[in-house]
Amino acid sequence: MSEGVLHAGAGHAVHHADYLEEPKGLWSWLTTVDHKRIGLMYMWSVLFFFLVGGIFALLIRLELLTPKQTIMDAETYNRVFTLHGAIMTFLVIIPAIPAALGNFALPLLLGAKDVAFPRLNLASLYVYWTGAAMAVATLALGGVDTGWTFYTPYSTTTGGGVTLMVLAAFVLGFSSIFTGVNFIATIHKLRAPGMGWFEMPLFCWGMYATALIQILATPVLGITLLLIVMERVLGVGIFDPQLGGDPVLFQHFFWFYSHPAVYIMILPAMAVISEVIPTFSKKTIFGYKAIAFSSVAIALLGFLVWAHHMFVAGMSLFAGAIFSFLTFFIAIPSAIKVFNWIATMWRGSISLEAPMLYAISFLLIFTIGGLTGLFLAALSTDVHLHDTYFVVSHFHYVMAGSNLIALLAGMHYWWPKMYGRLYNKKLAAISCALIFIGFNMTFLPQFVLGSRGMPRRYFNYLPQFQDLHVASTIGSWVLAAGLFLTAAYLLASFRQPKGMAANPWGGRTLEWETTSPPTTHNFEGQPVLQHGPYDYRPEPAPVGVKELAH
């Protein structure tokens, strides 16, 4: 392969310093408006909080090793799973792909110099850091034990740092909105000349659909969280039945955001996979428009299914049946994507590089996560499975497994572009296997536990559940080993000299046409699109002729 070979392509002589080197100094990073630097700072922040949230996850699993108290008391356990959930949701999974990889890659894929509003982009990073600091500061106030969903009336009556944590999530919402506004404006106005909507790489479609949800759903969460603060500070009464309010109203408001937010987590993952699979199959993507439109369909349908979280919260059976039907309906665009990815791989020239290994892991894990969602969408089975480990396992497959494995796929895919260096491929393959095995070992037993009646968030459990809990805990150690190995070889790659080729994977999208790493302005002059994003036909298209991607 071409890794480690100094790039000697025409027209890219090394007379510009790359964006990592120029300008120099910490201050230049903290005040940068370069989307690539902001993307990297987001990425490292997200990875830091992934480590923190992951340590909490390991503590939870360790506590559940035995049916009684193992390492912490019940109150501490409640705080630990709340912090795990809040950190992983608001600080890791939601910003992981859009704000980190999206910021880095989107303008490059579009052939643009930057996002539409670079200063707003930097502001979003600072807002993120502010929210993160507030979330961490709740520890000083005795932590939060409500679970990351902040259900009323418990969240309006319990002590500790609930107000601060809720405000932190409110602030973090702004960083998400800023990113969403930026991406939509960027995709509308900054595509390279010649790049119509259907010549955009599918990553951009995924980011567009994600941004739609960020804009339409996040403000509703914002006002809901403010209402919790108002309830706690002023006793306004909206969620308190003693004052004439309604706690179920909170659940409606909360899930009106938080179910679409699930798609803020999965659509960007699908966006990454849509880039990785054609590149490593050396084949035009199958069903370009179907994948593009299914992203938008998921984004819009995602707003109509929120009450499937509330089938047992006292909703009318008629409303339940409608939400159940709509939830089944949303499986269709997800399945369309999976079939199209598989059809893309079929008879392709597949090379099992690290990003592709992660993409294949994603296909398996997402399929398990998606199919188990149908059990929960069905009213009758949901009554049995609601608030059990089956739900825990389902959303970890979709949110954690799919999102973080896609994040790893994207990081391994664009690492050479980000840093001009390559990681150790053997170690990458080994750690991908460890992560895949560890993840399934952690969460497959939880499906069984849930279907047998193990409730979520419980500190103690019946002795008959112990075998499966032990398997799950050992799985969490395998998963952690894989992730630490990944961290080790990625950091070790910095010891190599920079020298990656512009296009180490043979990709056809625009980011591979500039140097690795790019200069601050991304391209030498304005790139003009000359072939489709997945044009892998053997004969290169003649210069100046524009071709469709499908």
29 binds another protein (CB under 8 A): no
CB closer to another protein out of 41 and 212: 212
Give the interface segment with another protein, choosing from 49-57, 212-220, 271-279, 540-548 (CB under 8 A).
212-220
3-class DSSP assignment, residue 321: helix
Q: Which amino acid is at 387?
A: D
The number of residues that bind another protein (CB under 8 A) is 46
Nearest CB to another protein, comparing residues 250 and 413: 250
On whether the CB atoms of residues 98 and 210 are closer than 8 A, the answer is: yes
Q: Does 188 bind another protein (CB under 8 A)?
A: yes
Alpha-carbon span 511 to 108, nearest angstrom: 5
**For another protein, the closer CB: 120 or 444:** 120
Closer to another protein by Cβ: residue 227 or 407: 227
**157 sits near another protein (criterion: CB under 8 A):** no
222 binds another protein (CB under 8 A): yes
CB 86 within 8 A of CB 165: yes
Distance between CA atoms of residues 355 and 191, nearest Å: 26
Instruction: Decide if residue 235 touches another protein (CB under 8 A).
Output: yes
Give bridge partners of residue 388 from the DSSP assignment: 455
Q: Does residue 544 belong to the site contacting another protein (CB under 8 A)? A: no
Q: Which helix (H) or strand (E) holds 416?
A: helix 403-419
253 lines the binding site for another protein (CB under 8 A): yes
Q: Minimal distance in Å, beta carbon 403 to another protein?
A: 23
- Residue 175 CB, shortest distance to another protein, in Å, is 13
Cβ contacts of 534 within 8 Å, gap of 6 or more: 201, 278, 283, 284, 285, 288, 508, 549
Q: Which residues contact 239 (CB under 8 A, 6 or more apart)?
A: 152, 153, 156, 227, 228, 231, 245, 246, 247, 249, 250
Smallest distance, another protein to C-beta of residue 182, A? 8
Give least dist CB 527 to another protein, A. Answer: 8
Q: Residue 228, interface with another protein (CB under 8 A)? A: no
We find the least distance from the C-beta atom of residue 120 to another protein, in angstroms, to be: 8
Segment contacting another protein (CB under 8 A): 4-12, 84-92, 187-195, 536-544?
A: 187-195
**Candidate ranges 201-209, 239-247, 345-353, 408-416; the one touching another protein (CB under 8 A):** 239-247
User: What's the token pair of residue 255?
Assistant: 């899930």
Select from 116, 269, 299, 365 the one that contacts another protein (CB under 8 A): 116
Question: Which residues within the stretch 512-531 sit at the binding site for another protein (CB under 8 A)?
Answer: 521, 525-526, 528
Kindly tell me which residue out of 58, 185, 343, 379 binds another protein, with binding defined by CB under 8 A: 185
Which of 13, 75, 137, 189 is the binder for another protein (CB under 8 A)? 189
Rounded Cα gap, residues 278 and 301, in angstroms: 27
- Look at the chain and count its residues: 550
- Which residues touch 13 (CB under 8 Å, ≥6 apart)? none
Q: What is the spatial distance between Cα 86 and Cα 89, in angstroms, rounded to a whole number?
A: 5
Backbone φ, ψ for residue 18 (5° rounding):
-80, 175
> Which of residues 51, 72, 117, 123 is near another protein by CB under 8 A?
117
Smallest gap from residue 62 Cβ to another protein (A): 39
Q: How far apart are CA 355 and CA 490, in angstroms?
A: 13
Whether a cis peptide bond, with omega within 30° of 0, leads into 67 is no
Q: With 0-12 CB in 10 A as exposed, 13-18 as middle and 19+ as buried, what is 76?
A: middle
Binding flags for another protein, 161-180, as an x/- string (CB under 8 A): ----------------x--x
List contacts with another protein (CB under 8 A): 112-118, 120, 177, 180-182, 184-186, 188-190, 193, 215-220, 222-224, 227, 230-231, 234-238, 243-246, 249, 253, 521, 525-526, 528
